[in-house]
């Protein structure tokens, strides 16, 4: 038998959402490419890769938060329906 605590699911979703938003807010302060002489282009590519990864992290965290919320809602609905069916037997 499986039990999912709705409060725990809500806390997980909120934590994912809050952290994703916090990481997203740092994206507005993207630093300029440092002058690295002949390696400036390489540094620019590395920084672009890091910031692209951070953007994907944000999107993934926000998507995960939405999915946890959706799963929690479905679980509660199914649990309520099952409880109603059991009550209907007596």
- pLDDT of 24-57, one tens digit each? 988 777 788 889 999 999 999 999 999 899 999 9
- Is residue 1 in a domain? no
pLDDT score of 1 = 67
- Is residue 76 in a domain? yes
Distance CA 73, CA 76 (A): 5
pLDDT score of 33 = 87
Distance CA 15, CA 9 (A): 10
Q: How high is the mean pLDDT of the chain?
A: 91
Number of domains forming the structure of the chain: 1
Domain that holds residue 74: 6-30+40-88
pLDDT score of 89 = 86
Give the count of beta carbons closer than 10 Å to the beta carbon of residue 52: 10
């Amino acid at each position: 038998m499986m039990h999912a605590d709705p409060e725990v699911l809500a806390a997980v979703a909120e934590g994912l959402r809050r952290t994703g938003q916090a990481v997203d807010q740092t994206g507005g302060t993207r630093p300029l490419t440092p002058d690295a002489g002949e390696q400036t282009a390489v540094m620019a590519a590395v920084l672009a890769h890091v910031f692209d990864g951070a953007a994907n992290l944000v999107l993934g965290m926000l998507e995960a938060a939405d999915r946890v919320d959706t799963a929690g809602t479905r679980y509660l609905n199914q649990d309520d329906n099952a409880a109603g069916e059991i009550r209907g037997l007596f």
